[in-house]
Amino acid sequence: MQLITKRKEIFIYGLSMALLLVLLKWLEAHFIIFNYRLDIFVGAIAILFTVLGIWLALKLVKPKVETLIIEKEVYIDQPANKEINQKEIERLGLSKRELDVLNVMARGLSNEEIAGKLFVSLNTVKTHSSSIYLKLDVKRRTQAIEKAKRLNIIA
């Protein structure tokens, strides 16, 4: 939720508050309720503002987020001596998500399987794939995997 939206919410709340106080004034001036049913009136106010508070809180609170599960097969002797080359990743300009895709791709999964594993659509995986090939300057996924392993940007 954006800051602007939050402010709007607060504004609506303030407005409700103001309107209610005006209403209160009016009622007070006309001696309609207060003379004998004050407790009920205050109870109504309480309930109303409780609901308003709940609504406010639900609106203001940041919802979400989702879980990302990446299964990683690790072979005992191979990755021991090789560390991920962070500088190379930076140099190539690979984003986090692209690295995610690249890692799962290197396990031999299809785009559809990658999509399922990363909780995105097939189209998204394709988009990431394409930009990976572009950044790695390769033509195919097999080359991308080969080069990525060679440059130690994936395990």
The footprint of DNA (CB under 7 A) covers 3-4, 93, 95-98, 110-112, 118, 120-124, 126-130, 133, 139-142
How far apart are the C-alpha atoms of 138 and 146, rounded to whole Å? 10
Residue 59 tokens, joined:
């609106």
Considering beta carbons, is residue 46 or 91 the nearer one to a second copy?
Answer: 46
Please say whether the beta carbons of 154 and 99 come within 8 A.
Answer: yes
Q: What is the largest CA-CA distance in the chain?
A: 86
Considering beta carbons, is residue 78 or 121 the nearer one to DNA?
Answer: 121
User: How much is the CA Rg of the chain, to the nearest whole Å?
Assistant: 29
- Contact track, a second copy, 9-38, x by CB under 8 A: ----x---x--xx--xx--x-----x---x
Please say whether the beta carbons of 73 and 155 come within 8 A.
Answer: no
Residue 121 tokens, joined:
């659509």
Q: Is 61 in the site for a second copy (CB under 8 A)?
A: yes
Q: Is 53 in the site for a second copy (CB under 8 A)?
A: yes
Please choose which of DNA, a second copy, none residue 30 contacts, taking the beta carbon within 5 to 8 angstroms, the exact cut-off set by kind. Answer: none
How far apart are the C-alpha atoms of 2 and 78, rounded to whole Å? 46
How far apart are the C-alpha atoms of 63 and 53, rounded to whole Å? 17
Considering the complex, what minimum distance in angstroms separates the CB of residue 26 from a second copy? 11
Please say whether the beta carbons of 33 and 41 come within 8 A.
Answer: yes
Q: Which of 54, 119, 123, 130 binds a second copy (CB under 8 A)?
A: 54
Q: Which of 3, 30, 68, 83 binds a second copy (CB under 8 A)?
A: 68
Task: Please give the residue ranges that form the binding site for a second copy (CB under 8 A).
Answer: 13, 17, 20-21, 24-25, 28, 34, 38-39, 42-43, 45-58, 61-78, 80, 105-110, 138-147, 150
